[in-house]
Each structure stands twice: as C-alpha cells, then as structure tokens.
Amino acid sequence: AVLSGEQSVGELREVFEVAKGMSMKERLALKLMYHRFLPTSELRPYICSIPPVVDTPLMWSDEKLKSHYKDWSEMQVRAKSAKMYLLQEYNKYMPLLFAKFPKLFTASTHTFSVWLWAMQAVKSRNWAVNRESEPAVSTAMVPFVDMINHDMGLRGAARTNLDGSKFTILAWKNYSKGDEVFTSYGDDCNHYYRLSYGFEIPGNTHPCLRVNASKSWKDKEDALLWHWATSGIGSNSVLPSKGAISATSFGGGKR
C-alpha cells in the first residue's frame, strides 16, 4: 500500500479537516503515528520495518556531537533549530487532536518523541511524485521502494508517478539484471546528509554554503517557517536576532 500525503478518507478525513494547515509531509507523519498504534492496520508490516530510531543529530546529546564533529557547535545549532520547529508544529496541532479525537490520538501514546520519529522517517523516506490528477505533485512513502540508496552525482535518476495506489518509477538509465538501482538524494554536504538521512559519505567535498542573509522576518516563527520551507527537516538555521539572521542553506535532495 502507498502512504500518500494527500487528504485521507475514513476516520482520518475529519482529522485533516481540523488540522487543515498541515503540510503533506506533516500529514504523512501523522498517518505514520496513527498506523503505528493501530493493531489492525494493513500498513503494520511496513511500519514495523521502519527503524524505531532514526540516527540523526536531532536525537544526539551534546557529548555525542562533540565526539563526532570538530566544530560541533555548528551542527548543534542546526539540530536545535530543526527540533524547535518540530516542537512548534507538534504543539500547534496535536493538543487539538487529543481533545477532538481522543479515540484516535492520546497524549500518552502520540508523544513528541513519536512525532520526531515520524517526521524523520518521512524526511528520509518520502518521494516527491507526479500524479495524473490533482494535486499534480504530491509526496508519498512506498514500502520497499524507500530502500533505494543514494548515489552521489547521479542526477535525473528516476521519474515517479502515483495513480491511486499504483506507484511507478521510470529509470533514466539502463539497468541489467542483478544491478542495484540507485537514485539521488541531491548533491549536498555531509552535514545535510547526516541531519536529514542519518549518513555521511567519505570523501564528500560538497561544501555547506554559508549565506549571510540580510533578509528580515516579522518574528521567530516566521523565520523558522522560512527555513523549514527551504531546508525541510534538515533545517539548519541560526535563530533570528533583532530581525536578521545568519544561516546555512542547502539545496537538492530526495524530498
């Protein structure tokens, strides 16, 4: 079964009408949380195949950051910024859902830690897909397909389509029987790969581009929203000070 970020049918339909401000990725994360604790879910085998912990700096202690990075404070800021945004989104929607749908979501079960797990799983496994109906572009999680590995420098590796529950990948190169199929998560630096996907590539020379932005924001929430939109769960912004911000920005990637 394909898990898509579009509006749902059944008992989750009313949930997303209440939480209508959620992005597609946030809706995917909420669906993961819902199915994770639903014993009769048809997606249970897939949910159980997702690692219970996604090993990214979002879950690391300062001690682990110090032992892994020479300049550990930079990654600390990125991780804390992303985590702050995720907490903000959790607090925006989940208390409302706990109150309105107590049979579906409870504070004791659907905790912030579970939300972190779900959002990291979505970030590291979702596919942007073309659809034959509206919306023309969506996002989805697909069992088995989300195990395709990253190949540095591979661009235009595949085009994806989603028609109902049918998910199709059209490769842009020839493969022989027995070949491993790769895709590209984007040509990025190791800080981005580690924060977004939980891995690093030895010998990766792609720089983390430093942007000394002169852009001003109305408030902290506006700044976090902007960096989330540009960086996804790999949000790596330095929080704003008096309306201005110094940020590290990345491009590309399997979003």
Give the pLDDT confidence of 72-90 residue by residue, as tens digits.
Answer: 677 777 788 888 889 999 9
User: Quick one: pLDDT at residue 167?
Assistant: 74
User: Quick one: pLDDT at residue 218?
Assistant: 56
% pLDDT > 90, the chain = 26
Single pTM value for the model:
0.76
Q: 50-62, pLDDT tens digit by residue?
A: 998 888 888 888 8
Which is nearest to 60 in space by CA: 2, 116, 137, 140?
116
Spell out the residues 6+ positions from residue 238 whose beta carbon is closer than 8 angstroms to its own.
Answer: 77, 81, 245, 246, 247, 248
β-sheet bridge partners, residue 131: 162
Contact 126, 2 (CB under 8 A): no
What average pLDDT score do residues 119-144 get?
Answer: 79
Which is nearest to 184 in space by CA: 253, 103, 94?
253
- Vertex 21, ends 109 and 240: CA angle to 5°? 90
Spell out the residues 6+ positions from residue 70 whose beta carbon is closer than 8 angstroms to its own.
Answer: none
Q: 173-221, pLDDT tens digit by residue?
A: 788 999 988 888 877 888 888 888 888 899 888 876 543 344 455 555 5
Q: How far is CA 29 from the centre of its chain?
A: 8
